[in-house]
Amino acid sequence: MTARILDGRAVGREVLAEVAERVRALRARGVAPRLAVVLVGDDPASAVYVRNKGRRAAEVGIDTVDLRLPAETTEADLLGRIGELAGDPSVHGILVQLPLPAHVDPQRVLRAIPPEKDVDGFHPQNMGQLVLGPPALVPCTPAGCMILLDRTGIDLAGKRAVVVGRSNIVGKPMAHLLLAADATVTIAHSRTRDLPSLVREADVVVAAVGRPGLVKGAWIREGAVVVDVGINRVDGKLVGDVEFAAAAERAAWITPVPGGVGPMTIACLMRNVAAAAEAAV
């Protein structure tokens, strides 16, 4: 079997077009959706992410407010600035770019964002709603993976899904979204024994670890769907966590890196901003 490509760039563009339509409708009602992006310090990768988010927001008609704070900003100062954004009715979404400097507790910061403005979906209330259902604002990367899975047309009910990685931002919410879609879900992590045999059983594999080629092509079951969240730089090139060429020989569908999950993440962020603004009207 040679896999069909799940093209995140194309699907992401479709999601952004839907968002642009929702933003037009909001503006027609006198609401200008606005996203506040908070960046602490001068991590170059974070600066690139923030710039890309600003660019996408502009494309779909979402206004952005950039709050750039020096690396030595205290936690109390940062919480104060988030409090101001929280109380500003013209701001519908607040995003704090991670990672934060070591002296700041990210959990305390994420909890300071009101759940209805938490467009990253990381607040405990939003994570709790994701587990209990129905979900409110859902973390963007797993939400994007679910849209890609939907595009395969495969009904996830009863399918065996393995999520490799258990981070709060990708692995855990991803597992809950798959569970809500009635898949039978296994979460694998750094202490899992015999990852190959788990992956061999899986109809759906989601890899979110951050290690190039961790998931071998030979482990992939014939006809499986492979979603590769990993972004790794190897010799100046971006690669995922899955051995792409070998996995594509066996899978029915696979996401490329780059051009798979990445563009979906940012599209889903814009969708969350539109949803937050709609809910505020």
Q: Which of 118, 120, 203, 228 is catalytic?
A: 120
> What is the closest distance, in whole angstroms, from the C-beta atom of residue 251 to ligand NAD in the complex?
18
Burial class (CB in 10 A: 0-12, 13-18, 19+), 162: buried
Name which position in 3, 147, 169, 269 contacts ligand NAD (CB under 6 A).
169
| 125 lies in the site for ligand NAD, by CB under 6 A | no
| 202 lies in the site for ligand NAD, by CB under 6 A | no
In terms of CB distance, is 210 or 213 closer to ligand NAD?
Answer: 210
String of contacts with ligand NAD for each residue 238-267, x by CB under 6 A: -----------------------xx--x--
Name which position in 3, 11, 148, 209 contacts ligand NAD (CB under 6 A).
209
| 16 lies in the site for ligand NAD, by CB under 6 A | no
- Phi-psi label, residue 194: left if phi above 0, alpha if psi -120 to 50, beta otherwise: left
| 190 lies in the site for ligand NAD, by CB under 6 A | yes
171-180 and 140-151 are packed helices; what angle lies between their axes, rounded to 10 degrees?
40
Is 117 annotated in the active site?
no
Stretch that binds ligand NAD, among 12-20, 129-137, 204-212, 272-280 (CB under 6 A): 204-212
| 22 lies in the site for ligand NAD, by CB under 6 A | no
Written in H, E and C, the secondary structure of the chain is: CCCEECCHHHHHHHHHHHHHHHHHHHHHCCCCCEEEEEEECCCHHHHHHHHHHHHHHHHHCCEEEEEEECCCCCHHHHHHHHHHHHCCCCCCEEEECCCCCCCCCHHHHHHHCCHHHCCCCCCHHHHHHHHHCCCCCCCHHHHHHHHHHHHCCCCCCCCEEEEECCCCCCHHHHHHHHHHCCCEEEEECCCCCCHHHHHHCCCEEEECCCCCCCECHHHCCCCCEEEECCCEEECCEEECCECHHHHHHHCCEECCCCCCHHHHHHHHHHHHHHHHHHHHC
| 276 lies in the site for ligand NAD, by CB under 6 A | no
| 189 lies in the site for ligand NAD, by CB under 6 A | yes
Structure tokens at 93: 């979404």
| 141 lies in the site for ligand NAD, by CB under 6 A | yes
Is 125 annotated in the active site?
no
> What is the closest distance, in whole angstroms, from the C-beta atom of residue 258 to ligand NAD in the complex?
9
Name which position in 125, 152, 167, 184 contacts ligand NAD (CB under 6 A).
167
| 272 lies in the site for ligand NAD, by CB under 6 A | no
Name which position in 1, 70, 192, 233 contacts ligand NAD (CB under 6 A).
192
Name which position in 35, 38, 130, 229 contacts ligand NAD (CB under 6 A).
229
Is 194 annotated in the active site?
no
99 upstream amide cis, omega within 30 of 0: yes
| 166 lies in the site for ligand NAD, by CB under 6 A | yes
Q: Which residues are catalytic?
A: 53, 97, 120
Chain residues binding ligand NAD by CB under 6 A are 141, 164-167, 169-171, 188-190, 192, 195, 208-210, 214, 229-232, 261-262, 265
